[in-house]
Structure 1
Amino acid sequence: MEPRIVAVYEAVSEVFKDSKKIFKTPEGMGNESFPLRIKLKPVKIFDEPVEFKPLIPKLKFIKNKQKWTGHLMGKAIREIPVRITS
């Protein structure tokens, strides 16, 4: 599956704890509820997913363009600067 962007959200709260289950826990993670959360506001939800790979050369926050996945792995949420280089 090719990487795609389906939406952009803005964090609109500080981190808070809530142990209420909101989705099924992935297999092998026991009874994890992922209690650290933030409130999100949708900025843009795309009608069609946006291909990510063509954006990599323009994204200044990705320093190593060949190993870009290492910059994003392990981060479900990442702050991205608004400005894109031309």
Structure 2
Amino acid sequence: MQRVKPGDTILVYVRQEKEDDTILPSAITGAYEVVSEPYEDHARLFTTPPHMGDEVFPFRMKVKPVAVFPEPLEFKPLIPDLTFITNKKMWSGHLRQAMREIPEEDYRLILRRAGEEATDA
């Protein structure tokens, strides 16, 4: 969180989930511009998923939408073309931290695949 600053752009990645008998693939759902300094707030924003205990996710930042994808962009088909993923077979290890900086070229590729145009934010 200390590396994030206003003006940065973040992508929202959602890991694979199972919903009833359907598996929802890992995906990117949109891009957002950070508009505040990171801050800590322990007020509960939403119901925490059962497997995460009583977590309140206190490290936060205010964001505004840059591109909210009409449909989530499935992540696995992107892997061969993403330069920040150097181990294509064990790719999930590249995403196991809360935030990961990626190259500009990967950001632009993701937006293009989602049908969005990258801006110089």
> 1:83 Cα shift?
0.9
Relative to its length, the structure with more helix (as a share) is: 2
Higher relative contact order (Cα pairs below 8 Å, separated by 6+ residues): 1
1:73 corresponds to: 96
Q: CA deviation at 1:33?
A: 2.2
- Between the aligned residues of both structures, percent identity stands at 49
1:24 shift after superposition = 0.9
Structure 1 runs of 4+ aligned residues shifted over 4 Å read: none
Q: Give the total of aligned pairs.
A: 83
**What's the counterpart of residue 46 of structure 1?**
69
Please provide the CA RMSD for this pair: 2.1
Q: Structure 2-normalised TM-score?
A: 0.57
Unaligned runs of 5+ in 1: none
Q: Which runs of 5+ in 2 are unaligned?
A: 1-23, 110-121
